[in-house]
Amino acid sequence: MTVTFEPITEALAPERIDALITAALAEDIGAGDVTTDAVIPMDMTCRGKVVCKEDGVVAGLSIAKRVFQLVEERMQFDAKTTDGEKVQADQIVARLYGPARGMLKAERVALNFLQHLSGIATTTSRIVKAVDGTRTRILDTRKTTPGLRALEKYATRMGGALNHRMGLYDAVLIKDTHLALVGGIGPALRAARKAHPEVEINVEVSNLQELELALADKAPRILLDNFSCGQVREAMQIIRGRAIVEISGGVTAANARAYALAGADFISVGALTHSAKALDFSMKVTRY
């Protein structure tokens, strides 16, 4: 289940992002930027620089570039770093040159994408670093902003994580809600195997009793949901290599290493996308 379902740059293709960017620009500019149009001469040009105001990992530079170009096709955008690279406070990540009105109109939307995606990449990088040296790999989840999943999962990859399933359509994951409605692990596993005999099946368990049932039914991959580190160690002694193990629930940069050392193959972290703090960027301009 843990694979890259599309080329890493697919999420950035213009045919994938232009509609999203256009909607964001319409939301911000509406009928027109009344301030810029009033005070900035139509023929004025300027230089700009995008500055990262804190340490982090950058993601979304090509999205920012596309925003400026959709507002003003004459805009020149020169990235000074690349997605996935670490940046420091006060580092210039891009320089721009072009019509001043276009630069000012595109600024906020471009920076909104950049700060959001870079925040996700930075948060991800910290948790990935926490498990460095162990065999455990960090996964993202479906806990994403509606409409932004492809971009947000791109950002987690820039931070060093692997993508979990992209949606409900590309992997079987039997969760507690399924189990509550079909009478338990056995019936759910049999139904899933009958419907999708060629697909790896993942089963979520919430206690050791459910774990034993999943192992008895030869579940190839088991998700330990909201287990403590001690419970994970106990579970690993029961599993003894009979299934791939994933941990989910309550994992942070502070406790990720302890969970990794308990022996899990994967840790999935919803906070990579649903709670990442934006990385702070600003744009400075000078008349040219």
Residue 6 pLDDT > 90: no
The catalytic residues are 108, 143, 175, 204, 225
**pLDDT (mean) for 43-49:** 98
pLDDT, one tens digit per residue, over 77-122 is 999 999 999 999 999 999 999 999 999 999 999 999 999 999 999 9
Contact 69, 77 (CB under 8 A): yes
pLDDT, one tens digit per residue, over 182-219 is 989 999 999 999 999 998 899 999 999 999 999 999 99
DSSP output for 181-228? HHTSHHHHHHHHHHH-TTS-EEEEESSHHHHHHHHHTT-SEEEEES--
What is the pLDDT at residue 10? 75
Whole-number mean pLDDT of the chain? Answer: 94
- Which of helix, strand or coil describes residue 65? helix
Q: Quote the tokens at residue 59.
A: 């993601």
Residue 52 pLDDT > 70: yes
Residue 3 pLDDT > 60: no
What is the Cβ-side half-sphere exposure of residue 29, based on CA atoms within 13 angstroms? 24
Which domains are delineated in the chain?
A: 10-128+277-287 (3.90.1170.20), 162-268 (3.20.20.70)
Question: Residue 38 is which amino acid?
Answer: A
Sheet holding 76-79, edge to edge: 76-79, 91-99, 45-52, 281-287
Contact 142, 165 (CB under 8 A): yes
Closest by CA position to 90, among listed 117, 54, 56, 58? 54
What is the pLDDT at residue 199? 87
Q: Quote the tokens at residue 155.
A: 């950002």
pLDDT, one tens digit per residue, over 228-246 is 999 999 999 999 999 999 9
**pLDDT (mean) for 40-58:** 98
Question: Which residue in the block uniquely carries the two structure tokens 């700060």?
Answer: 115
Closest by CA position to 128, among listed 119, 137, 141? 137
**pLDDT (mean) for 249-272:** 95
What is the pLDDT at residue 275? 95
C-alpha to C-alpha distances, 236 to 40, 143, 215, 219, 228, nearest whole angstrom: 65, 27, 12, 15, 12
Question: Residue 69 is which amino acid?
Answer: Q
- Which of helix, strand or coil describes residue 78? strand
Main-chain phi, psi angles of 276, to 5 degrees: -70, 135
Beta pairing partners, 71:
none
Q: What is the DSSP letter of 162?
A: B
- Is the pTM value of this prediction over 0.75? yes
What is the pLDDT at residue 11? 75
Could you tell me the sign of the dihedral formed by the alpha carbons of 193, 194, 195, 198, in that order? positive
pLDDT, one tens digit per residue, over 128-186 is 999 999 999 999 999 999 999 999 999 999 999 999 989 999 899 999 999 999 989 99
Banded model confidence at residue 2, pLDDT cuts 50, 70, 90: very low
What is the pLDDT at residue 288? 86
Contact 208, 235 (CB under 8 A): yes
Alpha helices in the chain (DSSP H): 14-29, 34-39, 61-71, 100-130, 149-158, 176-182, 185-195, 208-216, 229-239, 256-261, 271-274
Please state, in angstroms and rounded to a whole number, the distance separating the CA atoms of residues 82 and 97: 19
